Amino acid sequence: MVRAYLLLAWTWLRASAQYPLSLTLLTLGSFAINGLDIAAIWVIFAHTTALAGFTLPEVMFLYGTAGLSFALADLLFGNVDRLSQHIRAGTFDVMLIRPVSPFVQMAADRFGVHRLGRITQAAAVLVIALTQLTPPASRAWMIPVMILCGTAIFTAVFALGGALQFLLTDAPEVANAFTYGGSQLTQYPLSVYGEQLVRGVTFILPLAFVNWQPALYVLDRDDPLGLPGWVRFASPVAAVVLGGVAALAWRAGLRRYQSTGH
């Protein structure tokens, strides 16, 4: 699987390298567009010193970790949300005649480094936040763990969104609500949202484990919703469970695949 992914990604990378100007512009464009997100956060803090009790560096920390997780998942697997396009164009049938998982083929399809723009932007925000927060090493170890788990959780959300498109081939946007919506949601402290929503993203679609719960540990903050302390360490569990659910959903979707034009 990994080998096939790397082969396909490398082939696409070489193909895209034939258009260096387009590659540069796409990368810069992605960097700039995502830069607007952080500009919005700075605008908010021009009017206030705290957002739901969180300071600017803390919010930037949340933004950076969520952004980096999402950007990594998007770079590696984000393409699976194009399933309905592939189904309608008939290219999904072609993927099914190859001795490689269609999930891997779709993920690596048109792999492009232009998505590095988003990763660079999120990493830059995270670095700026960390220079101001300087969490002790006894808590900072959680940062790579949370980014890894966050990437896994977003990947699972992408896969779930893809699986959903086996049923809703005509409405891929429904899946986007969860993938891109989830990314937007986790950019802010979850305590700015209503309690019901926070419960939903903790216990149903576990986006709270992308950055919110582990960040409470890194930042040494109490949970505004009063969940027990061990929940902060549950990100790997959430990632594994959601990954399992996504894998099952994908398989079920593939079994129900109807192709086009009988």
Partner 1 sequence: MIEAEGLGRTFKVRRTVVHAVKDLSFSVEAGEFVGCLGPNGAGKSTTIKMLTGILAPTAGRIQVAGLDPARRRKALARRIGVVFGQRTTLWWDLPLRDSFELIRLLYKVDRVRFAERLAEMCAILDLGGFLRTPVRQLSLGQRMRGDLAAALLHDPDLLVLDEPTIGLDVVSKAGVREFLLRMNAERGTTVLLTTHDLGDIEKLCRRVLLIDHGRLAFDGSVAGLRALVPGETSIEEVVTRLYLSSTPAGSPRIRPLPPADDRPSGTA
**Using CB under 8 A as the criterion, which residues of the chain lie in contact with partner 1 when the complex forms?**
4, 7-8, 11, 14-15, 89-91, 93-94, 96-101, 255, 257-259, 261-262
Q: Closer CB to partner 1, residue 180 or residue 257? A: 257
DSSP code per residue over 143-169: HHHHHHHHHHHHHHHHHHHHHHHHH-T
Which residues are CB-neighbours of 233 under 8 A, at least 6 positions away? 214, 217
Q: How far is the CB of 159 from partner 1 (least distance, A)?
A: 18
**Nearer CB in complex with partner 1: 99/226:** 99
What is the nearest approach in angstroms of partner 1 to the Cβ of residue 155?
Answer: 21
Q: How far is the CB of 98 from partner 1 (least distance, A)?
A: 6
Nearer to partner 1, 47 or 255 (CB): 255
Contact 192, 185 (CB under 8 A): no
Q: How far from chain centre, in Å, is Cα 258?
A: 29
CA distance 165 to 174: 9
Q: What length is written for the chain?
A: 262
Closest CB 254 distance from partner 1, rounded Å: 9
**Separation of alpha carbons 65 and 36, rounded Å:** 17
| For partner 1, the closer CB: 12 or 233 | 12
| CB of 64 or CB of 102, closer to partner 1 | 102
Residue 140 CB, nearest distance to partner 1 (Å)? 41
- 28 vs 252, which CB is nearer to partner 1? 252
Angle between helices 235-255 and 142-167 (to 10 degrees): 20
Residue 17 burial class via C-beta count within 10 angstroms: exposed 0-12, middle 13-18, buried 19 and up: exposed
Q: Taking the complex as a whole, how short is the minimal distance between the CB of residue 89 and partner 1, in angstroms?
A: 8
Residue 1 CB, shortest distance to partner 1, in Å, is 11
Phi and psi, residue 56, nearest 5°: -55, -50
Distance in angstroms (rounded) separating the CA atoms of residues 229 and 232: 6
Q: Which is nearer to partner 1, 36 or 97 (CB)?
A: 97
CB of 100: closest distance to partner 1 in angstroms? 6
Q: How far apart are CA 157 and CA 230, in angstroms?
A: 24
Residue closer to partner 1 (CB basis): 111 or 212: 111
Q: How far apart are CA 221 and CA 198, in angstroms?
A: 17
- How far CA 256 is from CA of 39, 165, 253, in Å, comes to 44, 11, 5
